[in-house]
Amino acid sequence: MSLVLSPLDFGNATLAGLPAYLFNQLQAVMNAGACLIFNADRHEHITPPLRQLHWLRVPDRITFKLATPMFQCVNGTAPGYLSSDVPRVADVFDRKHL
């Protein structure tokens, strides 16, 4: 399964914010991988295999992959090199009221 998702996850930051129609090719690769894993026909509905694999659709996956490190930074579980570059809004003098 990771052989399908690892190349798709590469460079998520560059894909964030693109229009939805540009994700069709990546989604087609992901769908083909799910069909291959489940030995399903190309014309079968793809949602059940994706749910069984716990795979998000491409735009949601990109958002999740970018939000996870930010969540870790806010909660103090991120590596030091990341959390040092992300100041909390409450710690900035002019933003204490937020």
pLDDT tens per residue, range 7-46: 777 777 788 888 878 888 889 988 998 999 999 987 889 9
Contacts (Cβ under 8 Å, ≥6 apart) of 15 = 23, 26, 62
Q: How far apart are CA 51 and CA 57, in angstroms?
A: 10
* Residue 1, pLDDT score: 57
Q: How far apart are CA 80 and CA 85, in angstroms?
A: 9
pTM of the predicted protein model: 0.73
What six digits make up the tokens of 47? 């949602």
pLDDT tens per residue, range 66-96: 888 889 988 889 888 887 877 777 777 776 6
Contacts (Cβ under 8 Å, ≥6 apart) of 97 = none
